Structure 1
């Protein structure tokens, strides 16, 4: 049996901006972006004009991982929370610093990227969208 998990990120009308931000910051590839207005019209569920350009489903691949995105409807507000954080594990310290700095642009550094007991390079950053990332270069495992 095989299973995979990936974060599905919700935004308040700026999912398209977020997709391209993470594409650049994480070195990803946009697999697809579908807007609500791209769906066939259904008179039973009309799409408001202000929703037609919002992202219904976005897909970004970063290495072997996937991030998915959607914009919320105006009548379905949500709150960004730290209850879930995204951990990123680049194998190179230089790449970890680049990712950390890209995510920190317009955001807030929670813990500067630095050497720790478990990692040669670890830091926590909240990006400009309010999402929290832990950047962690895997350390040597006891053998």
Structure 2
């Protein structure tokens, strides 16, 4: 049996901005964005004007992995960020690790600067401007030049 998992991130009306931010920061490719307004009209569940431009589902491909996104309905409880789930990124090159970290840091907050650790030649934690926390962790077998 085979199974695959992927992070699915929810935002409160700014999913499009987040998807394009992550596309650039992580070197990904947007595979598709579907808005609530793109769906066929259903009189049983009408879509308000406020909902039409919100993202129902977005898909970003980063390497071999998928990130998926959606906006919440207006008025639904929403708590940005949180530290119960973090996304770990494992670039194999120092320049790539530094570029990703810098891109995620833009408008965000460094939790732990990039540095050598016992398990990694280059590791750091950053909470981006959307409140999502990322661990950037270069595999130990890669040399790191300070």
- For 1:76-87, what aligned pairs fall within 5 Å after superposition? 76-79=76-79, 80-87=81-88
Offset at residue 128 of structure 1 (A): 0.1
- After the TM superposition, list the runs of 4 or more consecutive aligned residues in structure 1 that deviate by more than 6 angstroms: none
Matched residues, number: 141
Instruction: Confirm or deny that 1:27 pairs with 2:27.
Output: yes
**Please, what TM-score do these two structures have when normalized by structure 2?**
0.94
Offset at residue 78 of structure 1 (A): 1.8
Q: Secondary structure at the match of 1:51?
A: helix
Offset at residue 140 of structure 1 (A): 2.9
Alignment-derived partner of residue 118 in structure 1: 119
Alignment-derived partner of residue 13 in structure 1: 13
Alignment-derived partner of residue 106 in structure 1: 107
Offset at residue 113 of structure 1 (A): 0.5
Partner deviation per Cα, 1:40-59 (whole Å, 9 max, x = no partner): 00000000101101000000
Offset at residue 77 of structure 1 (A): 1.8
Rounded to whole Å, the distance in 1 between the matches of 2:105 and 2:94 is: 16
- Say if 2:50 and 2:74, in contact at 8 Å, map to a contact too: no
Q: Secondary structure at the match of 1:37?
A: helix
Alignment-derived partner of residue 53 in structure 1: 53
My pick for the range that moved more, 9-18 or 132-141, is 132-141
Q: Structure 2, unaligned stretches of length 5 or more?
A: none
- Say if 2:120 and 2:140, in contact at 8 Å, map to a contact too: yes
Offset at residue 74 of structure 1 (A): 1.3
Q: Structure 1, unaligned stretches of length 5 or more?
A: none
**Please, what TM-score do these two structures have when normalized by structure 1?**
0.96
